[in-house]
Structure 1
Amino acid sequence: MNTLQKISMFLMAVLASGSLFANPTKTIYEFESDDGGFRTKTFFYDNGEEVVAFDTQFTEKYAEQCIRFLKSKTKSPIKYLVISHPNPDKFNAISSFKKLGAKVIASKQTASAIKGVHEYKKYYWTKIAKAFTESNYPKLGKIDLEFEGSYDLKLQNGDSLRLTELGSKGVSSNQTVTFIPEKNAFLVGDLIHFKTHAWLEGGIQNGKPNPDINEWVQTLEKLKALGNSESIVYGGRGKVAKLFEAVKEQKSYLQEVDEIVTDYIKDLGAKQTELKSDQANKHYQVLEKQIAKEYPDYALPYMIGYGVYGLVNAKLK
């Protein structure tokens, strides 16, 4: 048998066994909604056989858009959905993923917080903003698997993703981050918005927003301790970045914004009472402009206007 025949027989054997395709490309896909969906990002980890989705989008309409986006990229089915933290754009459209047979995973802290957040936000969107009615506001979905501390999500091909509940406040009352070893990458929800303005409302606890910038900074340090200098991070909004750089930038931003808000309230003097009245919105608009001016290269300045009320009110207690 000559060399060409041996090579031909080897290739035929490989093709027959399927081993030539044993290591398909492993990819992280990123979908970003438009402004109506708050520019929320849903990420998908596709190992070539199955997909893990991260966060749902604010409504089923946007969830269906991101699922169509994924289907244009891969034929791998969505087997799991991970909720990074209890904010509505992360869990509102759980039902869209469960229809596909996805198993929904969240930390016990996230699962226990979701109902209160859902009720708070539903009241705002149906009674105050009146952008939804009781009947068409997204229904609360069901978590299939809850974990404490950390959880290793093992996929059929042997991949294992490490989910870690950091257990302290960040953008929300608590925060789950996911590490994908194959990519040396962390998916962290809105804990980080690299070069993009943060949602400053804070976690909803006992029916009220409860931001804590100092604890958010500490939570970022917990995240940093999980990675290394080459790790990358995918935030809920903003650019992909090296983990250490993103943590440093996010901490600096949060501390500067906290100082701006503190100084603004102090400078109001006797007019601080306006922050507890129907005059409050005009002050939130001024703060949005001040913070945006301080960070001219940051995207989505309207995020400030949506959430800064939480930070202001926390300082008025």
Structure 2
Amino acid sequence: MENQAILRVENLQKHFPVKGGFLAGGFLPGGRPAKTVKAVDGVSFSLARGQTLGLVGESGCGKSTTGRMIARILDPTGGRILVDGVDISGLRGRELYEFRRKVQMIFQDPFGSLNPRQSIGTAIAAPMVAQKINPAGGLKNRVKELLEQVGLKPEHFNRYPHEFSGGQRQRVGIARAISLNPSVIVCDEPVSALDVSVQAQVVNLLQEIQRDTGVSYIFIAHDLSVVRHISPEVAVMYLGKIVEHGPREQLFSNPRHPYTRALLSAVPIPDPRAAREQQKIRLTGDLPSPANPPSGCVFRTRCPLITTLPEDMQQRCRTEIPATAVLGSPACHHAALPAGAPATV
């Protein structure tokens, strides 16, 4: 039962209508949107109970939007989100209220996610108050236990967010997220706003909590070194789609999608000699607009591999959408080509 999937995401989509006046081309007659931004477009994966899945990619790829849909902060346009086998994508009213206990979120900005006029004790207690939970021993004692669990002091109960460092504020956010004993926590770049030394402390704290409680994490990040440390499984996103998904060791040692190879080639290496010898894959061009994604493979306009291919193989990239990435099988028509095939640009 330990490896049973606690979360399944199936063909998840989030499309935002383009806003703007009729003359600006935002809407057609009748109020219908002329275009939609396909922020997330057919994402599928599963998360085992008590495990961590890293979700990585450059800014704008849709990873945070995916996390917010899983937490039901955003409503999905299409697809299914199953938590413990129950589709939560269409929950409303009382059912959505009860679901909140199962999935919580840790936000990127530890200061912006806290009310500056609210003491941290009140902030941590807020989810329990909203869910009408009365812990044994009282609410205040439970909050103090949570403060100790995340490495803060019980006497911090009445202090305010501005009295804490960034790392301490993020610990408050973690305490608030675990207050309801959720099954899944979506960690939306929880360490990207922190100093490097503090990042390690927060990542270690998250791992300790996972060992103690068995909670599962969706760990969203752009720092691949952090993801490699905390996530046994990694999914790489590009322009609203997962392009590669696999075990950590396999993905980092033998990336098969050209985009994954480019991401990994950009990771800094502390050894200057090894850094000089590392082959850098530089992607040309800008990230395409999710309102007008390329036909066929969404990565083809920046792919360093495509220019090395015969015309018929290039045509396939332009016209045919690759199969959805699944564990160990990337979304690339030519993933079977050797890793050295892409030409650096």
TM-score under structure 1 length normalisation: 0.34
- More helix by proportion, 1 or 2? 1
Q: Which has the higher contact order (CA 8 A, sep 6+)?
A: 2
